[in-house]
Structure 1
Amino acid sequence: MKKADRGKLDVLNLNLVLCFIKARTSEELGRYLIAARDLAPGDLVLTERPLVFGPKATVVPEATMPCVGCYRPVPTDVGERCAKCGWPVCSGNCPGLTDPRHHGAECVILSARPECVLDNMPDYYRHDALLPLRCALLQSTAPELWTKLSEMQSHMECRSPGTDAYDEANEFIVEYLMNNFINKLDEETKKKYLPEMSAEHLHVFCGIIDTNALEIRLLEGTELLALYTNTCIMEHSCIPNTKHTFSHVTKDRNDFFKITVKVVVPVLKGNHITTMYSHALWGTQARRQHLKDTKYFACRCERCADPTELGTYISAMKCLGDGDSICDGIHLPEDPLDDETDWACNKCSVKVNGSQVLMLISQMAEEIEAVEMMGGTIQMWEDLLCRLSMFLHPNHYHLFSIKHSLLQLYGRQAGYTSDEILNRKIKMCKDLIDITKKLDPGNARLSLYMAVLQHELHSALVMIVKKANGEGKPLDDLKPLISEAKTAINGALDSLKDDMEEIAGKKLFAVINENKKDFDKYCKKKKINV
């Protein structure tokens, strides 16, 4: 996805806004995009249809699997099956079953193993193998797209036999497709649909997918992976200046999953157009390792190069002193672009080895995951917050995660609605909103987080207003809080304006919008003008 898509840029297919952006090439970055003029938030960068797409395996495949025609979740053990190949479908009349962009072409290949089973179905029906198969089928269904696919970067030089990426792809994708389907095809069928096909080809497709694919969440909850010929040349940055969305409901079926990329923060002429291929709420160590493992490049963006991560200190550790004296300083990496760097205190001479920091952070991540698995009560989260706060800066991303869980529980459970708790919740919301704005000022990656934080801030403020007014405090004295609550909920809805086609964004918007209606009714009833 970075490091050089060497293929020629198909300008006719790339729907760039005329004179807005230009494609460039460098030895370090390969192809990338720059602004041809000053760009403002909302300006369109590009739109394009997917080259090919396919479903990911569901989170709990024992319960539901995606229909191979439309990707709607269907019951795993009692759902209908495709009459030809036996794979789970929503209905035998699903239009996608005969559409070559969906199941139409692959069904011929999957029919080489016509048996249906009810045991060990997640391994028998491997939906994560369908996208590599669909890539292979482009050579017969859409030769012009096959050519574009062949030009995409696979990073096979980093995926040789013996590497985790190669061995995993070999076991779960390549051998699965070759042994169960492709090797069972008669020569006529293979020549017609897969004239160029071998295990090596499938490994290349797996590399292309791992390097370039974008994730699409459907309204029903299913996730797809899709490849875009031109979007993939966009440069990564941990402070992205664009946001991408996908079309789910269209008049033209060919426009399903079309991507739209828009600017979210001002971009000056000549500056690079960037997106993000990692998680904005991970620390620098975690982000850079993820990018090296999956995209095969070492990020050197402004955030990664800054030990404080844009002044958020989201990876910072507390200094515990040298054993003889206590220190209230903080540990930061001396050189965050060096994986082996020491972490130095900003107030004393104590240093900590980077590998020790990584081990400690990994252990803490496991503790957080364990609490999540157990349901995460307020008491459990508070105990964990207290324990980890002994070692981490208050803004650390592990503490961010814990606080984000806590503030959604405060004010909603019996025994946790006092003014003290609500004021604690308000402070947490404001602290996390401040961090989120610094890390993602354009809501490119953290819009759902921001919406939740602003909504929870609104809820706490309204609860305080209602309690205070019920105890006799005049509403005129509470107008600043009411005004702040209105600003917060409007901000929450605004944060979701580009997330309405995804199930999480749509559901969250509905909840927040209902609360806004309740707030407006309250203000009208109390004759509050804000």
Structure 2
Amino acid sequence: MTQGEMETVEVFTSEGKGRGLKAAKEFWAGDVIFAEPAYAAVVFDSLTSLVCHTCFKRQEKLHRCGQCKFAHYCDRTCQKDAWLNHKHECSAIKAHGKVPNENIRLAARIMWRIEREGGGLTEGCLVSIDDLQNHVENFGEEEKTELRVDVESFLNFWPAQSQQFGMQYISHIFGVINCNGFTLSDQRGLQAVGVGIFPNLCLVNHDCWPNSTVIFNNGNHEAVRSMFHTQMRIELRALGKISPGEELTVSYIDFLNVSSERRQQLKKQYYFDCTCEHCQKGIKDDLMLAVKEGENKPSPDAVKDVLQFSKDTLEKINQARSEGIYHEVVKLCRECLKKQEPVLGDTNIYLLRILSIASEVLSYLQMFEEAAGYAKRMVDGYLKIYHPNNAQLGMAVMRAGVTHWHASLIEAGHGMICKAYAILLVTHGPTHPITKDLEVMRVQSEMELRMFQQNEFMYYKMREAALQNQKIQVMPEPTSEASSGLFHTKQ
């Protein structure tokens, strides 16, 4: 974070919320309020040989550290940029004889930086690591047990020649990681690949209907390269007009839950009671729990039965997805939709969840026509619930647009791709790789739409030929991962 960017925000203390950030000047939708490099970051255990340990890009071939044989990098540049943070880790891994888990590795990287720079304020940081909240006092028995295990594992890994820290301070670092670790994504924003600590971001308070959003940008342009050697940063971006003195807020979790469930999730993961307007007034809850209206309005018992059936089916779907049995997923979705459609309203979250899964899996199986029908209904529901500039909404509309394109529904597909592009310009910015990909899709679909409007027959002939070398790609293989929140919580 540069000195100029620091002047765009102010730290303040509010009753009941603790510290937060407020805007020091006016912002408009899409403006970058501030950008921040990671204080420390690590790749997830499951992806250590697939993702660069410096820029967090997923690559086909990575170069391995010749000494520890653990760290992997895109090229010499990334390896050189990583050395300041990796050299102690490299020696410790060799001495320890094995690689510790991601939590231990992240704590160690934080400690080595504290050893190097001290635990107070560092350049570009509005708050010190020492002053970040750890919520250790709020831990339940299971979390306390996990903390003790982590501390013991850390002490076994931590070199004797490095600065020694007390048990209370080590516990503080693990507490900070537990409630403030930010999930890092790959270059296209489609897969969680690591976790990092961003002190300034930790100051931004939660609101279920926020005025800002956070995006991980591991950089494909020279401005980022010159600003941060690691080519990796988070950006806090405005979702609409923000006035000077207005508190900056982000949503720690997905909005697509009724207020009582969001509050329960926030209390469990982040240890606070949400008092935002949407939670206090239950705004949008009626849409998310909508049932069919009119003469055939279902009875409360019928609604209860269908909701329970939906929950049971979602569990079966998650199991089938984890095993890669996608035709079973489709079968379960169709059965569930058959029961839901006469009972649940078009914006009911249980209906929308099934529609989302069905459209994603059917697209992967290249059953595009059926997938497009479900995707359209899903998008129509999302547009009534989500903030108009919500990043998850933008990604969902993009996927629906691509599905329609594959189904030869070029008019609807182009419209959705344009809608998604408008959202992602705000939430991700024009230089983000996914926005660049979407711009290519938008131009291609616009060209095809013109051709379709001029001569349908020739359009389908040329489309058939173009598919041999198609530019618009099918979305990646579905996963059973739930939509993650803003911060990474230890599983």
TM-score by shorter chain over 0.5: yes
TM-score (norm. length: structure 2): 0.73
Residue in 1 that maps onto 2:236: 261
What CA distance in whole angstroms lies between the structure 2 residues aligned with 1:194 and 1:96?
25
Q: Which amino acid aligns with 1:107?
A: C
Structure 1 residues 501 and 358: alpha-carbon distance in aligned structure 2, compared to 1, 3 A threshold? farther
Residue in 2 that maps onto 1:280: 255
What CA distance in whole angstroms lies between the structure 2 residues aligned with 1:36 and 1:275?
17
Aligned residues: 439
Could you tell me whether the CA contact under 8 Å between 1:43 and 1:263 is conserved in 2?
yes
Out of 443, 450, 462, the position equivalent to 2:390 is 443
TM-fit CA distance, 1:69: 5.3
Residue in 2 that maps onto 1:490: 418
Residue in 1 that maps onto 2:132: 152
Greater RCO structure (CA 8 Å; 6+ sep): 2
Matches within 5 A, 1:76-91: 82-90=65-73
1:106-165 per-position Cα deviation (integer Å, ceiling 9, x unaligned): 2232232136xxxxxxxx552342111111112222226677111111111112xx6222
What CA distance in whole angstroms lies between the structure 1 residues aligned with 2:326 and 2:141?
36
Could you tell me whether the CA contact under 8 Å between 2:391 and 2:423 is conserved in 1?
no
Q: Which amino acid aligns with 2:270?
A: K
Structure 1 residues 390 and 425: alpha-carbon distance in aligned structure 2, compared to 1, 3 A threshold? closer
TM-fit CA distance, 1:230: 1.8
Structure 1 residues 157 and 209: alpha-carbon distance in aligned structure 2, compared to 1, 3 A threshold? same
TM-fit CA distance, 1:522: 3.1
Could you tell me whether the CA contact under 8 Å between 1:51 and 1:149 is conserved in 2?
no
What CA distance in whole angstroms lies between the structure 2 residues aligned with 1:93 and 1:427?
46
Residue in 2 that maps onto 1:304: 279
1:292-328 per-position Cα deviation (integer Å, ceiling 9, x unaligned): 1221112122222344x42662245789xxxxxx963
Q: Which moved more, 1:125-134 or 1:264-273?
A: 264-273
Find out whether 1:223 has 2:151 as its counterpart.
no
Give SS of 2:11's match.
strand
Residue in 2 that maps onto 1:235: 205
Matches within 5 A, 1:328-347: 328=298
CA RMSD of aligned residues (A): 4.3
TM-fit CA distance, 1:368: 3.3
Q: Which amino acid aligns with 1:487?
A: G
Residue in 2 that maps onto 1:207: 175
Structure 1 residues 370 and 422: alpha-carbon distance in aligned structure 2, compared to 1, 3 A threshold? closer
1:360-393 per-position Cα deviation (integer Å, ceiling 9, x unaligned): 7753531331343421554432112223457654
Could you tell me whether the CA contact under 8 Å between 1:98 and 1:104 is conserved in 2?
no
Residue in 2 that maps onto 1:400: 352
Residue in 1 that maps onto 2:268: 293
Give SS of 1:428's match.
helix
TM-fit CA distance, 1:227: 1.8
Structure 1 residues 510 and 329: alpha-carbon distance in aligned structure 2, compared to 1, 3 A threshold? farther
Residue in 2 that maps onto 1:367: 316
Residue in 2 that maps onto 1:26: 14
Identity %: 18
Could you tell me whether the CA contact under 8 Å between 1:430 and 1:457 is conserved in 2?
no
Structure 1 residues 459 and 301: alpha-carbon distance in aligned structure 2, compared to 1, 3 A threshold? farther
TM-score (norm. length: structure 1): 0.68
Find out whether 1:163 has 2:141 as its counterpart.
yes
Structure 1 residues 84 and 416: alpha-carbon distance in aligned structure 2, compared to 1, 3 A threshold? closer
Could you tell me whether the CA contact under 8 Å between 1:71 and 1:222 is conserved in 2?
no
Find out whether 1:519 has 2:449 as its counterpart.
yes
Find out whether 1:385 has 2:332 as its counterpart.
no
Residue in 1 that maps onto 2:484: none
